[in-house]
Amino acid sequence: MQKSNIFRRNPVLKRVAVALKRLTLVNSSRYYLEQFNRRFAQSMVPGSMILDAGAGNAPYKSLFKHVRYESADFEKVDKPYASSTYVCDLCDRIPVEDGRYDYIVINQVLEHLANPGAALAELSRVLKRGGRMLVSAPLFYEEHERPFDYYRYTQFAYGQMFSRAGLAVDSIERLEGYFGTIAYMFECVFRHLPLLPSRKRAGVRATAFLVWPLVVFTKLWCFLLACVFYRLDMKYKLCDMGFPKNYVAMAHKPAAPPLAS
């Protein structure tokens, strides 16, 4: 019997499991991403225009109450969306005039763009000269929002991609510390190992008697370790070892070069 079957047959059990996971597995990356977005929001001039590109369910919209907030998303994934100001493909055309926005945030979207170069050029078009942009994207994360998942980004990719789009990168930082990456690895083991042996896995069935207790022990132990390491990451953001799950870059569109006399 698969895990999903147990939950399909017991919706109450499923609700308890989801609630328990929410209570215990706090995602430190989202905690830090909220902080980056909050600091960016606090630096914004009241009344200016911001675009949330690939906004999804717009988790940071409430941080931008003092500015004029617009969002763009292609809304093609089977998940809940906040209704977007513009339903459009970022790789194609955002239906607004050049230089409309003072600021752009594009959180956890770059990896989903089939043509990131075209999307960055389009974002550069709609950003004012001198306008600023916050970008976050994963370096290390499993496939998600399938089939719209194409790339992962090293810190060295940003400078190259952005300068091609006429944007200058000001800073690149790790989103979370190494404890966050470790926690995520434990979380993956916990999520992907089955709770019960499967009738379909013939090879494993022969040794299920020996393997199953080890699998269950590993699954539960990794859950515990994930909870501990996520919390450690929120207390101690270690950036001098290992590697992050995500990078956050700040960029701007340079002012026009002076005219030759």
Residue numbers at the binding site for ligand SAM (CB under 6 A): 54-56, 59, 73-77, 89-91, 107-109, 112-113, 145, 148
Report the residue number, 123 or 234, with the smaller CB distance to ligand SAM: 123
- Yes or no: say if 96 and 86 are a contact pair by the CB < 8 Å rule: yes
Judged by DSSP in three states, 19 sits in: helix
Q: Please report how close the Cβ of residue 89 comes to ligand SAM at its closest, in angstroms.
A: 4
Range list of H helices, 75-199? 116-126, 155-164, 178-192
Q: Please report how close the Cβ of residue 195 comes to ligand SAM at its closest, in angstroms.
A: 27
Residue 75 backbone class (left: φ over 0; alpha: ψ -120 to 50; beta: rest): left
Report the residue number, 79 or 235, with the smaller CB distance to ligand SAM: 79
Report the residue number, 9 or 164, with the smaller CB distance to ligand SAM: 164
**CB-based closest residue to ligand SAM:** 56
Q: Please report how close the Cβ of residue 34 comes to ligand SAM at its closest, in angstroms.
A: 10
Q: Please report how close the Cβ of residue 161 comes to ligand SAM at its closest, in angstroms.
A: 15
What tokens appear for 49 in the block?
């225009």
Q: Taking Cα atoms as reference points, which of 50, 56, 108, 105 lies closest to residue 82?
A: 56
Q: Please report how close the Cβ of residue 23 comes to ligand SAM at its closest, in angstroms.
A: 20
Report the residue number, 53 or 232, with the smaller CB distance to ligand SAM: 53
Report the residue number, 7 or 81, with the smaller CB distance to ligand SAM: 81
